[in-house]
Structure 1
Amino acid sequence: MFSSLITSRIVATLSALLVVLVGCGAGVWQLNRADQKISLGESLAAKLQLPVLNANADSLTLEQALERRIVARGRFIQQEAIWLDNRPRPIPEGGAGSAGQSGFYLMMPLKLDGQESVLWVNRGWAPRNNENRIELPPVKTADAEVTIEGVAFAHPGRVYELGQKGDTKAIPRIEQNFDLALEAQSHGWQQLPFIVRESNSDKNDGLVRNWPSPTNGVDRHYAYAFQWFALALAGFLFWLINGLMKYRRELAVNGDRV
């Protein structure tokens, strides 16, 4: 039987082994991604219960502010806005909407009141014009001093980027990703070592701020994991059944009773 299943079927055995390894590996990876999202969600939920930090009054490091609620007061520097391209519309867990709709995250520096420092704010999402990439969506920005509330993160999220970063002097600045250190270097100003994702969803400024929970998509990871494990099992069963059928045929040819 060993010869019928393996020795005489080296190519089939190696192919089946590859399918099993790939399926199991991808399935485990999907389970790990689900665990990571659950851990992130639990960490964020715990930190959101802590007291609100004040960017104007506190000298905050990234470690102190990360995933904490932040309030800041100042004026937006509108001419330095950065539009992050290829960002999907944020849809909260259980919400309805066109989740596949592509658009921009609007990153804008906020000159803090009473300080020389600048705080970068992810003001929200706006849809893009699919026919004219350079035409930006209409967004309202107050010229007066404003108070914003949000959650601190190390960056606004990254997407795959081909080539080098675009011209930092271009107007409007449409980028794939945001580099906090590069912005500090190019502008020569002091800035806080984190960004704040604004959470005020009731502002009538043309931006969407229905930010999803980090656990969004966990069920999808479990479904993908099941599919990969099922593929691995199907590959193994296909190899085993064909091997057993070959073994039975060999017994029949040799005149042995099955």
Structure 2
Amino acid sequence: MRVAILGGLLQLLLIPAFISLGLWQWNKAESKTALQASLDTRSHDAAIAMPTTPADIEALRHRRVILRGHFDASRQVLIDNRLHREQAGYHVITPLRLEGSDMHVLVNRGWLRAPADHARQPDAPVPAGEVELTGIVAAPTSRFFNLAAQPSSGWEPVWQNLDLERFRSAVAYPLQPLIVQLDAQSPGGFVREWPRPDERADRHRSYALQWFGFAVASLGIWGYFLVRKP
């Protein structure tokens, strides 16, 4: 009887924990799938001009936009530790001043392979003159981990993460609260095989089923010990 009571108390802890972890993984998969569906739908709509006034990120997320203006090569930044097909490299982020205004928008021009000597920076030339580009709007990452303390002043050409607030504080011009991922057909970019939002969604579902299986298995084991003959 004591074993049954202890087992029951243990099930009260384990089963909710397993179910909670399973639901967490399942919801992550559903969230990624929903983001992919939004991208598939909105990215096929007609492209719209990037506004020159502060934009609503939710209204523009996953929309294809048209950009006209001039790149600011002096404030280009390389985002370190970005992998592409198991190779190390950088994402090249260059601000673009929108035509007819002082508003700028950050353009991710793609992935660039890192030199064998990582102390050297790769050559990432910036198109001169006026350009016309298209790309997909993405929300900037708000949660990230820096391996080392980042400088609070001055300008560094290589960053660990793209911190939009840090970028905004380092420039004297207004900046849209979003990132534009440059289309593969647009000029002036590098490797642009952007990851899908639903990447690894199936793996999250697999993890969820495993956690649900643990809940069922623990309940079955407890039931077996309850009904077995002494």
Say yes or no: TM over 0.5. Answer: yes
Output aligned runs, 1:95-114, within 5 Å. 98=85, 100-114=86-100
Alpha-carbon contact 2:134-2:186 (below 8 Å) kept:
no
- Residue 135 (structure 1) aligned to one of 105, 117, 120: 120
Give the Å deviation of 1:76.
Answer: 1.9
| Residue 171 of structure 2 corresponds to residue 187 of structure 1 | yes
Give the Å deviation of 1:36.
Answer: 0.9
Alignment deviations for residues 129-174 of structure 1 (CA, whole Å, 9 cap, x no partner): 5863x43333332233322210112315753336654345243232
| SS of 1:144 mapped into structure 2 | coil
Paired amino acid for 2:105: L
| SS of 2:107 mapped into structure 1 | strand
Alignment deviations for residues 104-140 of structure 1 (CA, whole Å, 9 cap, x no partner): 22211112233222111111122345863x4333333
Residue 209 of structure 1: aligned partner: 192
Alignment deviations for residues 64-121 of structure 1 (CA, whole Å, 9 cap, x no partner): 42221111122222221222233333xxxxxxxx3x5443222111122332221111
Alpha-carbon contact 1:156-1:197 (below 8 Å) kept:
no
Distance in 1 of aligned mates of 2:187 and 2:210: 42
Residue 256 of structure 1: aligned partner: none
Distance in 2 of aligned mates of 1:159 and 1:130: 26
Distance in 1 of aligned mates of 2:88 and 2:210: 28
| Residue 216 of structure 2 corresponds to residue 233 of structure 1 | yes
Give the Å deviation of 1:213.
Answer: 2.5
| SS of 1:176 mapped into structure 2 | coil
Residue 28 of structure 1: aligned partner: 23
Alpha-carbon contact 1:48-1:68 (below 8 Å) kept:
yes
State which drifts further: 40-49 or 165-174: 165-174
Alpha-carbon contact 2:154-2:170 (below 8 Å) kept:
no
Unaligned runs of 5+ in 2: none
- Residue 174 (structure 1) aligned to one of 138, 152, 159: 159
Output aligned runs, 1:159-170, within 5 Å. 159-161=144-146, 164-170=149-155
| Residue 67 of structure 2 corresponds to residue 72 of structure 1 | yes
Q: Which has the larger radius of gyration?
A: 1
- Residue 55 (structure 2) aligned to one of 57, 61, 65: 61
Residue 147 of structure 1: aligned partner: 132
Aligned residues: 229
Give me the TM-score of the superposition, normalised by structure 2. Answer: 0.83
Alignment deviations for residues 180-211 of structure 1 (CA, whole Å, 9 cap, x no partner): x4423331212223221112257585x22111
- Residue 51 (structure 1) aligned to one of 39, 46, 51: 46
Output aligned runs, 1:219-258, within 5 Å. 219-245=202-228, 248-249=229-230
| SS of 2:122 mapped into structure 1 | coil
| SS of 1:6 mapped into structure 2 | helix
Give me the TM-score of the superposition, normalised by structure 1. Answer: 0.75
Output aligned runs, 1:75-90, within 5 Å. 75-89=70-84
Fraction of identical pairs, as percent: 26
Distance in 1 of aligned mates of 2:177 and 2:155: 24
